[in-house]
Structure 1
């Protein structure tokens, strides 16, 4: 009997363009075999996560809120936001995934730098696949072209493929057994 397909809930946090969330469904399904569905519930701008000193939003607070949206039919949740994110030891992050809470957050704020239209859509897709793969158990990859490479700037996303390298694909196959 085939295993039931895992479902990734996509949630808007703040006011990212709704069309962008739908643009993530196919690449996530194609690359990771996850069924991605845009949730009916959207979260408002996460003012509870705002840090005045940094003028940024703390990922962990948003991840905690996202994890409360998981229903039994969902394996994991990915929030997409338009606010600038941080974790304490970094000046900023493009996104963050927490395997334990099965939640991830991805920000358009930095990905927008010098990009619009197709380039922005592709950056968002690359990082969404990256974060979803973290939720499935994959770690960072050394291959700068692999979707699992750690992007430290939006330009890194432009170099990455939308797909896993052979090493990461093999690792994913092991995790799915």
Structure 2
């Protein structure tokens, strides 16, 4: 008997262009075998997560809110936002995932820098697959071309492929057993 397909709920947080949520569905499905559903509920700009000293939004506060949107049938949730994100030990993050709570958030704020529509779409797809990969249990990869490589700049993101390297693909297969 095959396992039921895991379902990733995609949620708009703030004001990302609605079309961009649809743009990540196919790569996530293709690369990770996850079904995706775009939530009918959109969250407003997460003012509760704003840190005025940093001028950024705290990932964990947003992810705690995202978890509340999970419904039966959804395995995990990924929020896509337009606000600049941080975690305490880092100047910024493109996104963050928490395997325990099955929630992740991804920001367009830094992906937009120096990007036209096509490049922004590609960056968003790469980072969405990356965060969803973490939700499935994948760790960071050493291969700078692998989608699971830890991108710390737009250049890192642009170097990555949308796909998993062989090591990460094998790891995903093990996790899915």
Shorter-chain-normalised TM-score: which range? over 0.9
Please give the alpha-carbon distance, in whole angstroms, between the structure 1 residues aligned to 2:154 and 2:17.
19
TM-score by length of 2: 0.99
Show the counterpart of 2:156.
156
Aligned CA RMSD, in angstroms, stands at 0.4
Gaps of 5+ in 1: none
Q: How far did residue 23 of structure 1 move? A: 0.4
Show the counterpart of 2:13.
13
Q: How far did residue 33 of structure 1 move? A: 0.2
2:174 is the alignment partner of 1:174: yes
Q: How far did residue 6 of structure 1 move? A: 0.4
Show the counterpart of 1:43.
43
Please give the alpha-carbon distance, in whole angstroms, between the structure 2 residues aligned to 1:70 and 1:37.
11
Number of residue pairs aligned between Structure 1 and Structure 2: 177
Show the counterpart of 2:107.
107
Please give the alpha-carbon distance, in whole angstroms, between the structure 1 residues aligned to 2:124 and 2:66.
19
Show the counterpart of 1:143.
143
Please give the alpha-carbon distance, in whole angstroms, between the structure 1 residues aligned to 2:72 and 2:98.
18
Secondary structure of the 2:149 match is coil
Q: How far did residue 154 of structure 1 move? A: 1.4
TM-score by length of 1: 0.99
2:97 is the alignment partner of 1:73: no
Please give the alpha-carbon distance, in whole angstroms, between the structure 1 residues aligned to 2:175 and 2:10.
22
The residue correspondences of 1:23-102 to structure 2 (distance < 5 A) are 23-102=23-102
List, as ranges, runs of 4+ consecutive aligned residues in structure 1 with deviation greater than 6 Å: none
2:129 is the alignment partner of 1:129: yes
Gaps of 5+ in 2: none
Show the counterpart of 2:119.
119
Secondary structure of the 2:36 match is strand
Please give the alpha-carbon distance, in whole angstroms, between the structure 2 residues aligned to 1:170 and 1:81.
31
Please give the alpha-carbon distance, in whole angstroms, between the structure 1 residues aligned to 2:66 and 2:77.
7
Q: How far did residue 105 of structure 1 move? A: 0.1
Please give the alpha-carbon distance, in whole angstroms, between the structure 1 residues aligned to 2:57 and 2:24.
23
